[in-house]
Amino acid sequence: MECKAAHNKQGCACASKNCERHGLCCDCLRFHLARKSLPMCMRKLDWIKTVS
């Protein structure tokens, strides 16, 4: 699978534009899930409240 980092960066909800994982969704998800946290792009989703 080809990484679409350039495309992802356009719509990335992360406020930290200097983050080394900005636009690299796979790396970002891996990072946050390992720390039992959610990336910025998932924090405002309504369904998260029902899963937690």
Note the pTM of the prediction, 2 decimals. 0.68
Contact 24, 8 (CB under 8 A): yes
Q: How far apart are CA 32 and CA 47, in angstroms?
A: 18
Q: Splitting the chain (52 residues) into consecutive groups of 10 residues, what average pLDDT does each group show?
A: 83 85 91 91 68 54
The reported pLDDT for the residue numbered 36 is 92
The reported pLDDT for the residue numbered 50 is 58
The reported pLDDT for the residue numbered 35 is 95
